[in-house]
Amino acid sequence: MTDDLRALVAAELAEPVEPRAAALAAAVAARYPQAARAVLFYGSCLREKRLDGLMLDFYLIVSDYRAAYGRSWMATANRLIPPNVFPFEADGLTCKYAVLSAADFDRLCGPKSDNPSVWARFAQPARLAWAADVGAREAAIAAVAQAAPTLIARTLPIEGREPADPLDLWRAAFALTYGAELRAERRSRSGSIVDADPDRYRRFSAPVLRAARLLAPARLTRGAALRGWRRTQRRGKALTLLRLAKASATFAGGLDYLAWKINRHAGTAMTIRPWQRRWPILGALTLLPRLLARGAVR
């Protein structure tokens, strides 16, 4: 992490959050009084002024899983297949929040993680909606500052050389990460992430590239890099299925939320039957082949 990149990340995380969203983040943290360290707000709702009817996306960072859950099996589940995801509602707003320990958050944002689900998200804009103290704030900044260099370092060997327009590098990078999860969004979604705020990505490009060059293997060929991404993508899709199965035990109404998200992003009209709500893992497994055949998820 270079000083200029850290400054950019710190400034972005410190940008004001809509007051109701900040209050919701604080309410999430209050559910874990012995463990909560930070709440990060990310996703498309960052750009929205009217939050009613939307589901906000948070990451709750905790000191450790035992402090968060006690001796519950959820601590083990969170450690083995991070993160755990829960729905929450307060004062008329709803959100889902993913739980990660501070150590896992730092690891999953960094170059030693082959799982793009965290570093791809935090290479995008985010806000620190709540922090327990200065130490928690600094730890969040340090973790998030790894995310974009990790993303770009994984992409540089495939591109071969830096494109004339740095936005093309960001678009290529997000397209690669979208292939590593089961996604309901249309194929153009990875490019629209950049196009929604091109000035932000231009501002971040130079310091991110400087940091990424320190991480990118100098002798890695394009073929080797592509094979690495294909392995990452296969593992990522399998991990997504494991997380969906786990979420059926932690996320009340998770199957209905999944249907809503797919319908919203893929333009489908999927409905959930009562037996699928009763047996959500089996229900999800029976839906998946049809969704793949229709191209609703990839």
Q: Look at residue 115 in the predicted model and tell me its pLDDT.
A: 87
Q: Look at residue 235 in the predicted model and tell me its pLDDT.
A: 74
Taking CA 221 as the corner, what is the angle to CA 192 and CA 2, rounded to the nearest 5 degrees? 60
Hey, what domains does the chain have and what are their CATH numbers? 3-242 (3.30.460.10), 253-294 (no CATH)
d(CA 286, CA 298): 16
Closest CA to 83 of 40, 22, 21: 40
How would you write the pLDDT of the chain (298 residues) with one tens digit per residue?
Answer: 689 999 999 999 999 999 999 999 999 999 999 999 999 999 989 988 889 989 999 999 999 999 999 988 999 999 999 999 898 999 999 999 999 999 999 999 999 998 898 999 999 999 999 999 999 999 999 999 999 999 999 898 887 777 779 999 999 999 988 876 655 445 555 568 999 999 999 999 999 999 998 887 656 677 777 787 778 777 766 676 667 666 666 665 556 666 665 565 556 666 767 766 665 556 665 666 665 555 544 5
From the CB of residue 235, how many other CB atoms can be counted at a distance below 10 Å? 14
Which residues is 55 bridged to in the sheet?
94
Residue 136 corresponds to which amino acid? A
Kindly provide the b/e burial profile for residues 13-51, where b requires at least 16 CB atoms within 10 angstroms of the residue's own CB: beeebbeebbbbbebbbeebeebbbbbbbbbebbeeeeb
Closest CA to 96 of 256, 216, 227: 256
Q: Look at residue 296 in the predicted model and tell me its pLDDT.
A: 45
Q: Look at residue 274 in the predicted model and tell me its pLDDT.
A: 74
Q: Using a cut of 0.85, tell me whether the model's pTM lies above it.
A: no
Closest CA to 243 of 281, 203, 194: 281
Closest CA to 51 of 85, 97, 26, 19: 19
